[in-house]
A and B are shown apart, each in its own frame.
Chain A
Amino acid sequence: MNAVLLSADLPYWAISLLRVLGGLVAVLLPAGTVVYLFLFKMLSFMQSRLGPMEAGPYGSMQLFAEVGKWLQKEDIVPASAQPEARIFKMAPLIVLASTFLLVVVVPFGPDAWFTNFETGIFYALAVSSVSVLGILIAGWSSANKYSLLGGLRAAGQLVAYELPMVLAVIGVVIQAGTMNLQEIVVAQNAGSMFGWDGLGNPYVLTQFVAFLIFMISVQAELSQTPFDMPIAESELVSGYMTEYSGFRFLIFFIGEFATAGVFAMIASVLFLGGWGVPFSWFGWTTIDSIDNWMNVAGPLILFAKMMALVFFIMWIRFSSPRLREDQLQRFAWKVLIPISLVNIMLTAVLKVAF
């Protein structure tokens, strides 16, 4: 996007406006597709029902109807939360803001990116941890014991699973030799396995352990079952979201699924080769020799890989029971973190050896 925009010689404000629009599309389009395809349709088929069928063909307009419904609802602040009304109203925005900050570093094609950070993946992990703040103050400012418990559970869970996620990413960073997401994509697609470059070198093969740990941590960071204790509906009503209604609930809802989409994008960039196809297919060698049509095909390829990963996230979400709170913490600290540390050591040793 950047190089294309710069060559069009637009003024700064126009480029900024286009970037904002691009960011909105990159966050809302995956979120909408994920909700319709997986939450509405896949879940329904798994439960032997049709799901929404009335609004549009096969209920494809259902999402717009739902958004319209939420926007019409009253924006309620509970009486006991009145002293903290400002913080109560701010909390969902912080959660959504962290999602928008996250999408900024995802590369969509050879020139289609918002920013080309040298420390892209590090930045992504840092801003994703900001959403915890929003969830915590949402739980606290609701002045409701279920909300507070949900917020505290969420904070404990997100801090615990942040660590294995970071440690899993380090394996990829060591192998690629860079933290720049664009260069990680190129390193995978231009790479070769034992001299054979037909598939490039997607890190899902060499970093399979890291991939599994990363996806488990994503599942926990998104509070999806089996890690959904923060919003456990049979214990805490709806956790930190209990008191929210109308468009503030909608923001939490969009935030949840948009973050699922963005995390899946980052996972496919790290482990599945991102927007690229193996460069040997078209005789490319470096990022400069890539044909321009990849700027159109790249986002679609990334989108397809993202949908495949979200499919697995949702599949596990719809078909597994909930863990207990202490099991969750024990799993993170006693299983995932040691394994990811061993993975880092092995990767470093192999990197030096080869």
Chain B
Amino acid sequence: MLASDVLVAQNVGFAIIAAIMVVGALRVVTTKNVVHAALWLVVVLAGAAAQYVLLAAEFVAITQVMVYIGAVMVLFLFGTMLTRARIGAEQDLNNKNWFIGLPIAVLLLATMLMALNDGFKAEKLPVDAPVVTTQQVSDQIFGAYLLPFWALSFVLLAAAIGAIVLARRD
């Protein structure tokens, strides 16, 4: 491999962002305050958006910011602040059965690694991969994948209606 084929800036950027994401993800589960956990999760999600930018997937990156940071995390914070978020460290934040999550997480990671390894083997991404434009993405969503897109929308609609039905007492 030629030295000029190595994308130094991209790799350094990836490493820095990945390190920040790992620290953020660990702090999400170790911090003593619900709101802090949510804010660390924002760091992780923003890092994912930054990684998408590095992959030249501009549309996905912006969607990540809009949906996860702008909507999901705001709702998350809104909900916790409305119900129980206290200032400072909290007691009994940990579930007694937290260690059951560990093997499941390891299992999930192993499955993903296996699937990736199995699917791509030693295949490498081309250095100058073609940039997928937003137009191509939308052509795919509203063309070839229209039916799955509709199905997903109906799932979300059902979830929204279900939430309203559960929340309303009258």
Contact = CB atoms under 8 A, between A and B. Distances in A.
Interface of A: 80-81, 83-84, 87, 117-119, 122-123, 125-127, 129-130, 132-133, 136-137, 139-141, 143, 148, 151-152, 155-156, 158-159, 162, 179
B88 A84 contact: yes
Contact of B85 (A80, A140, A156, A179): A140
B88 A83 contact: yes
Contacts, number: 78
B109 interface: no
Given A117-B58, A126-B65, A143-B87, A155 B70 contact: no
Given A81-B87, A159-B75, A130 B58 contact: no
B133 interface: yes
Interface of B: 35-36, 39, 42, 58-59, 62-63, 65-66, 69-71, 73-75, 77-78, 81-82, 85, 87-89, 133-134
Nearest to A124: B62
B50 to A, nearest CB: 13
A104 B15 CA distance: 26
Contacts of B82: 152
Given A137-B35, A137-B77, A155-B77, A132 B70 contact: yes
A158 B78 CA distance: 12
Interface centre among B42, B66, B89 (most CB of A within 10 A): B66
A140 B73 contact: no
Contacts of A143: 87
A140 B81 contact: yes
A119 B62 contact: yes
A125 B74 contact: no
B133 A156 contact: no
Given A130-B69, A179-B134, A119 B85 contact: no
Contact of B62 (A83, A126, A155): A126
